[in-house]
Amino acid sequence: MLTWNVLLMQVLNGLQWGLLLFLLSAGLTLVFGIMNFVNLTHGSLYMMGGYFGAYAYGQTHSFWLACMVAVVGAAIVGVLLDRLVAASLYSRDHLDQVLATFGLILIFNELVRIVWGGNTSVVNPPEMLTGSVEIFGLRYPLYRLMIIVVGLLVSGLLYFIIHRTRIGMLIRAGATNTKMVSALGVNIKRLNLIVFAAGALLAGLAGVLNAPISAIQPGMGEPILILALVVIVTGGIGSIKGAFYGALLIGMADMVGRAFLPIAMTEFFGRAAAQLTGPAIASMGIYLLMAIVLIARPQGLFGGRHA
Amino acid sequence: MESSIRKLIAAAALSVAATAACAAPVKIGFLGEFSGPQMAYGRDMYDGFMLAVEQGGGKLGGVDVQILKEDTQLKPDLATQVAQRLIEKEGVPIIAGVSFSNIMMAIHRQVTEKEVFLVGTNAGPSPLAGEQCSPYQFFASRQGDQQSEAVGRYAMEKGYKNVIAMAPNYQGGKDVIAGFKRTFTQGVTDEIYTPLNQLDFSVELTQLAARQPDAIFVFYPSNLGISFVRQFHAAGLIDQIDLLSMGTVDALTLPSIGEAATGVISGTYWAPDSEDPASIRFAEAFEEKTGRIPSEVAAASYDGALLIGSALAKVGGDMSKKEEFMAAMKAADFESIRGKFRFNNNHYPVQDFYVVKAAKDSKGRMNLETLQVYPDMADAYASQCAMK
Amino acid sequence: MHEIVNNSPRWPATNANASRLEHLSASVNWTAAILILVLALVPMAASAIGELYYVTLMTRALIFALAAVGLNLVLGYGGLVSFGHSVYLGIGVYTVGIMMDHGITNAWLQLAAALLIGTIVAGVIGALSLRVKGVGFIMITLAFAQLLYFFCVGLRDYGGDDGFSLNGYSDFGLFQLGDNNTLYYAVLAVLAFTLLWVSRLISARFGMVIQGCKSNERRMVALGFPVFRYQWAAYVLSALICVVAGFFIVNLTRYVSPAYMQWTVSGELIVMVVVGGIATIVGPVIGAIAIVLFEEFASHAAFGLPGNADAFIHEHWLGALGVVILIVALCLKQGLYGSLFKRSARRA
């Protein structure tokens, strides 16, 4: 049962999930790191991406158009959030930020229910991606392969921006020492806005990309928000590299927990025990991992100093 | 002089109160999920129930009723609060609805202990069919295992050898698989329980692709079902493995799944293509009112409302006559859209079950088509119930 | 805060500060005392207007008030944002539930067991979490809460995700918690006692040190205070208060479920503390009552608004709550109690 092509498939599954998580975590880690802002609304931005995409898809039946609308829409919402709410909270303590963004989650969920009802919306993948491709005897959905490709492309793009452009340098500087950057005459407000909007854009992208696979419903942002928080804390707040490796780590861990742990448990403890504890351990595993990393290295795997 | 005026006033007040009490509508609490991914269930249930009320002109069985709709958000702890409120503040004599078995299990005791009637129109958990049965509980739908028992029988008849079962990891899921295993005496090769909120099945689907069973039997309600079937289709597995199911492809999920569901087998207790005239009238009225094809959940709720109506008629709307109401409910003397309807000793119905297939109907919409009927199925727990 | 420089070993604070403290504790106790008195009248008022349901509603409010008071100890006074206190509610709920399931209805035993388990769990989580500062602390408390949540979800024998309902009530020997009024007064009594105890604690040296850590931890370390030990103690104490709240809530709903341990419950507790007024004695109580009553009335009361506005509010009251929370976070930093009753001796 555990042949090497199955192993490969599962690794691809873990990779795909991890990359999707990375899209969501990249923006979040920068917002946490540079602005020192606990942003629980990030999950809602992911949700808005999904909803904008679903709406656009419903009107045009074009997946690509839906993606664009989702991404732009989420970025706009991000800008509005930054200007209207977040900007006044950057200087406040974490408690106020937690509270305000928690309130925003409730507001977004209700807004979405008011506008689109509580129904589940549906986005279909584009025609050319509905099939599956044969990899070493097993079929892997083309659409998921596309997500992997997009994820890797975005990672590459982010790496390039962060390490090879001026704005990337500013972002890295801001993540290390915000006050100094501001003191050096950089318009920190504009930098914050750009980072926030970029994060929102990526979250929206994740939302619309995941839409054909999962379901678009109110409250869909919270479960994935928790995971994103785990990713960035494990990887190190403020570090894109940390978010990348953290996301892949969490994605793989989740996959291992679901795919291989039950098999291992069945081998050692028998089927009944595996069925009994397997799902629970799989769910707990990620949090255990984060706790261990934090205890051993409180700043996360790649975290630098942050305020 | 004064005292006689006082008596007159008292008498007048009493008679006004008496007439008011007689004219006061019977309050029926209706619990369902009207938010969250499972709201499709709550909505269908409520629409089916209210269709009967509206057709009766705001009355059931000729008695004025007031339906108090409450949202449980699929949270058992919230449901206990809501039920407490309905009983203590509103003083409802009947609570109806309840889509999910975990909600039913959370509230049943506090409802029946207070001698309030609990008329379930969807959830039918096994403990309440057996040891924890109560004379105040009635189920207009079915016992939760029965639909999968029907599919299990069908699977045996089809001669599948290697079947893997999958369901979400909660009591309802385990009940469903237990029902399947009861009739699929061949024995399932494996059971996979996924976390209740997991919408991405890539890992499990890869395992299935590797193991290549003859068929899989799944129970994934509402959003889980939509996600699972679409991903199953996207993974190309629909051509390799037969998909047997329960509660996964129905009128609630088919509009969202679309053609990807073609060929999926399911088990139900009300088939949309039934030729019973009452059923056809119901389906047409429901579609006219809501624009959707009714699901079995809506059908059961409609029947549940008619059932309550039949009992209300017999007690003339006077809910203080609890013994008589109970007897009237047990008699189930109403025109069910499922044809014949009678209760077993544990107040669960004995009824026909259908094995259906998802396919396009005559109007080109995704619907369910009957393959097989198993008449007069009773649930497996009736003997464990002490009631006669 | 020059009182803190005086590290006399005597406990509680020395005589030099007696008059100021006397003044403070007097003013604090007044508000709390009046509040307790008013709350004690609720069952009588409810039966007078014939709406016994309000006793149940207020019991729920008071239980959350208790949990909020507990959280306030570490969040408001200690400045440590714990996003995982719902775990301790869950410990109270599950300990009582499991014991009850096995036939042990003695409330003293249940409380003792719950407090013991709570101490161990809070001790471990606190010790590990306090190693991490700032945002990391928030996240790690969240992580531990999720961990235990999924652990309880995995407890198939106890219903797993669905949980299970209880047949009986906790029995204190002299009285049972089966009657609505008895339960209400039991919770009120415990709440009153806790308020008194917390106010004493805060006015004493322990409270001073904790608040000092909140305002400037480095200075406290420099002054030679064992900061970690104080914070750890505060964390465990706050957890234990939540465990007791859990004990009561399972008696109110008679339902054991992991739902009490979800991170959203932790969030709600934080909301209650802040909306009421952090670092005040009665603030959390006000906040909890306000939130629970808001929930009830926003979703059920007839406002008499035109058109479908009433039904709209009933359906979307969570959004209204979100707006309230946002406004409080942005403008009413001191919370309802803090803003309405501006006290000259305001802590940090």
Written as one string, the DSSP assignment of C97-133 is: HHHHHTT--BHHHHHHHHHHHHHHHHHHHHHHHTTS-
Does residue B322 form part of some domain? yes
| Residues of C with Cβ-Cβ distance to A222 under 8 angstroms | 264
For helices C180-203 and C18-40, angle between their N-to-C axes, nearest 10 degrees? 170
For helices C180-203 and C227-253, angle between their N-to-C axes, nearest 10 degrees? 170
Q: Determine the average pLDDT of the residues in A266-293.
A: 77
Residue with tokens 């619907």: B367
Report the alpha-carbon distance of residue C342 to residue C29 in Å, rounded: 16
Report the alpha-carbon distance of residue B31 to residue B42 in Å, rounded: 8
3-state SS class at C5: helix
**Closest alpha carbon to C328 in C280, C281, C291:** C291
Does residue B195 form part of some domain? yes
- Please indicate, yes or no, whether residues B244 and B374 belong to a single structural domain of this protein: yes
pLDDT value of position B387: 86
- A117-131 residue pLDDT tens: 766 677 777 777 777
**How many other CB atoms are there within 10 angstroms of residue B284's CB atom?**
11
Does residue B348 form part of some domain? no
Does residue B387 form part of some domain? no
Contact assessment for residue B87 and residue B114, using Cβ atoms and an 8 Å cutoff: yes
Does residue B98 form part of some domain? yes
- Total residue length of chain B: 388
Residue with tokens 């964390």: C235
- The first and second tokens of residue A69, run together, are 């609308």
pLDDT band at A89 (very low <50, low <70, confident <90, very high): confident
A137: left (phi over 0), alpha (psi -120 to 50) or beta: left
Which secondary-structure segment (H or E) carries B111? helix B101-113
The amino acid occupying position B186 is Q
**Proportion of chain A in helix, strand, coil states, percent, rounded to 5:** 80, 5, 20
- B352-382 residue pLDDT tens: 999 999 999 888 888 999 999 999 899 889 8
Alpha helices in A82-187 (DSSP H): 87-89, 94-116, 142-164, 166-176, 178-183
pLDDT value of position B171: 74
Q: CB-CB: which of A98, A100, A281 is closest to C138?
A: A98
**Closest alpha carbon to B195 in A261, A42, A207, A66:** A261
How close is the nearest chain B Cα to the Cα of A135, in Å?
Answer: 12
| Residues of B with Cβ-Cβ distance to A130 under 8 angstroms | 234
**Closest alpha carbon to B151 in B65, B244, B82:** B244
- What is chain A's mean pLDDT, rounded? 85
- Please indicate, yes or no, whether residues B56 and B6 belong to a single structural domain of this protein: yes
Longest dimension (CA), chain C: 67
Chains that touch C (3 or more CB pairs under 8 A): A, B
3-state SS class at A140: strand
- Please indicate, yes or no, whether residues B152 and B7 belong to a single structural domain of this protein: no
How close is the nearest chain B Cα to the Cα of C162, in Å?
Answer: 5
pLDDT value of position B7: 56
**Is the peptide bond preceding residue B93 cis, with omega within 30 degrees of 0?**
no
Report the alpha-carbon distance of residue A287 to residue A282 in Å, rounded: 10
Q: What is the pTM of this model?
A: 0.85
ipTM: 0.85
3-state SS class at C171: strand
| Beta-carbon separation of C75 and A276 below 8 A | no
- Please indicate, yes or no, whether residues B73 and B112 belong to a single structural domain of this protein: yes
- Please indicate, yes or no, whether residues B110 and B164 belong to a single structural domain of this protein: no
A202 — phi, psi (to 5°)? -65, -40
**Residue of C74, C87, C135, C332 to mutate, interface with A, max A Cβ within 10 Å:** C135
- Please indicate, yes or no, whether residues B255 and B214 belong to a single structural domain of this protein: yes
Stronger pLDDT, A307 or B235, i.e. the higher one:
B235
Chain C residues 60-79 with CB within 8 Å of chain A = 75
**Closest alpha carbon to A138 in A304, A8, A270, A306:** A8
Contact assessment for residue A300 and residue A234, using Cβ atoms and an 8 Å cutoff: yes
3-state SS class at B223: helix
- Please indicate, yes or no, whether residues B130 and B91 belong to a single structural domain of this protein: yes
Does residue B289 form part of some domain? yes
Could you list the residue range(s) of the whole structural domain that residue B71 is in? Answer: 2-142+275-343
**Residue of B77, B88, B114 to mutate, interface with C, max C Cβ within 10 Å:** B77
The amino acid occupying position C48 is A
For helices B202-211 and B222-234, angle between their N-to-C axes, nearest 10 degrees? 50
* Rounded mean pLDDT for each run of 10 residues along chain C, 348 residues in total: 47 53 60 87 84 87 96 90 94 93 88 95 92 82 89 80 80 79 92 92 87 84 87 94 95 88 92 89 92 87 75 83 89 72 46
Q: A41-44 contacts: CB < 8 A, separation 24 or more?
A: A41/A81, A41/A101, A41/A104, A41/A105, A41/A108, A42/A199, A42/A203, A42/A221, A42/A225, A42/A228, A43/A105, A43/A220, A43/A221, A43/A222, A43/A223, A43/A224, A43/A225, A43/A228, A44/A104, A44/A105, A44/A108, A44/A109, A44/A221
| pLDDT at residue A174 tops 90 | no
Chain C residues 283-322 with CB within 8 Å of chain A = 315-316, 318-319, 321-322
| Beta-carbon separation of B210 and A6 below 8 A | yes
For every residue of B316-334, DSSP letters joined together read TT-TT-HHHHHHHHHHT-S
| Beta-carbon separation of C322 and A104 below 8 A | yes
Does residue B360 form part of some domain? yes
The amino acid occupying position C90 is G
Chains that touch A (3 or more CB pairs under 8 A): B, C
- Please indicate, yes or no, whether residues B107 and B25 belong to a single structural domain of this protein: yes
pLDDT value of position A306: 41
- Which residues make Cβ contacts (< 8 Å) with residue B15, sequence separation at least 6? none
pLDDT value of position B21: 47
Q: Which range has highest mean pLDDT (A37-51, A85-99, C18-32, C155-169)?
A: A37-51
Low-confidence ranges of chain B (pLDDT < 50): 1, 18-21
Is A159 exposed, middle or buried (CB count within 10 Å of its CB: 0-12, 13-18, 19+)?
middle
Report the alpha-carbon distance of residue B284 to residue C133 in Å, rounded: 63
Q: CB-CB: which of A1, A140, A214 is closest to B199?
A: A214
- The first and second tokens of residue C9, run together, are 């070993």
- Which residues make Cβ contacts (< 8 Å) with residue B175, sequence separation at least 6? B101, B125, B126, B144, B145
- Please indicate, yes or no, whether residues B130 and B27 belong to a single structural domain of this protein: yes
**Closest alpha carbon to B266 in B153, B183, B366, B147:** B147
**Closest alpha carbon to A41 in A117, A111, A97:** A97
Q: How far from the centroid of its chain's Cα atoms is residue A191's Cα?
A: 21
Report the alpha-carbon distance of residue C306 to residue A96 in Å, rounded: 36
- Please indicate, yes or no, whether residues B237 and B363 belong to a single structural domain of this protein: yes
pLDDT value of position B27: 93
How close is the nearest chain B Cα to the Cα of A276, in Å?
Answer: 9
Task: Indicate the number of domains in chain B.
Answer: 2
Is A169 exposed, middle or buried (CB count within 10 Å of its CB: 0-12, 13-18, 19+)?
middle
Contact assessment for residue B266 and residue B246, using Cβ atoms and an 8 Å cutoff: yes
**DSSP assignment letter at A216:** B
- A181-201 residue pLDDT tens: 888 888 888 888 888 999 999
> What's the CATH code of the domain at B61?
3.40.50.2300
**DSSP assignment letter at A120:** P
**Residue of B174, B194, B202 to mutate, interface with A, max A Cβ within 10 Å:** B202
**How many other CB atoms are there within 10 angstroms of residue B1's CB atom?**
5
pLDDT value of position A304: 62
**Residue of A132, A258, A284 to mutate, interface with B, max B Cβ within 10 Å:** A258
Q: How far from the centroid of its chain's Cα atoms is residue C109's Cα?
A: 22
The amino acid occupying position C244 is V
**Closest alpha carbon to B207 in A3, A16, A282:** A3
- Please indicate, yes or no, whether residues B371 and B232 belong to a single structural domain of this protein: yes
Report the alpha-carbon distance of residue B251 to residue A97 in Å, rounded: 43
pLDDT value of position C10: 46
Q: Please report, in angstroms and rounded to a whole number, the separation of the first and last CA atoms in chain C.
A: 10
Residue with tokens 């090497």: A4
How close is the nearest chain A Cα to the Cα of C218, in Å?
Answer: 15
pLDDT value of position C186: 92
A53 — phi, psi (to 5°)? -60, -45
Alpha helices in chain C (DSSP H): 18-40, 42-48, 53-72, 86-101, 107-129, 135-153, 180-203, 205-215, 217-222, 227-253, 263-276, 283-300, 309-315, 317-330, 335-340
- Please indicate, yes or no, whether residues B320 and B371 belong to a single structural domain of this protein: no
Does residue B93 form part of some domain? yes
- Which residues make Cβ contacts (< 8 Å) with residue B229, sequence separation at least 6? B220, B243, B248, B249, B253, B257, B260, B261, B264
Q: How many CB pairs under 8 A join A and B?
A: 99
**How many other CB atoms are there within 10 angstroms of residue A115's CB atom?**
9
C213-C214-C219 Cα angle (round to 5): 40
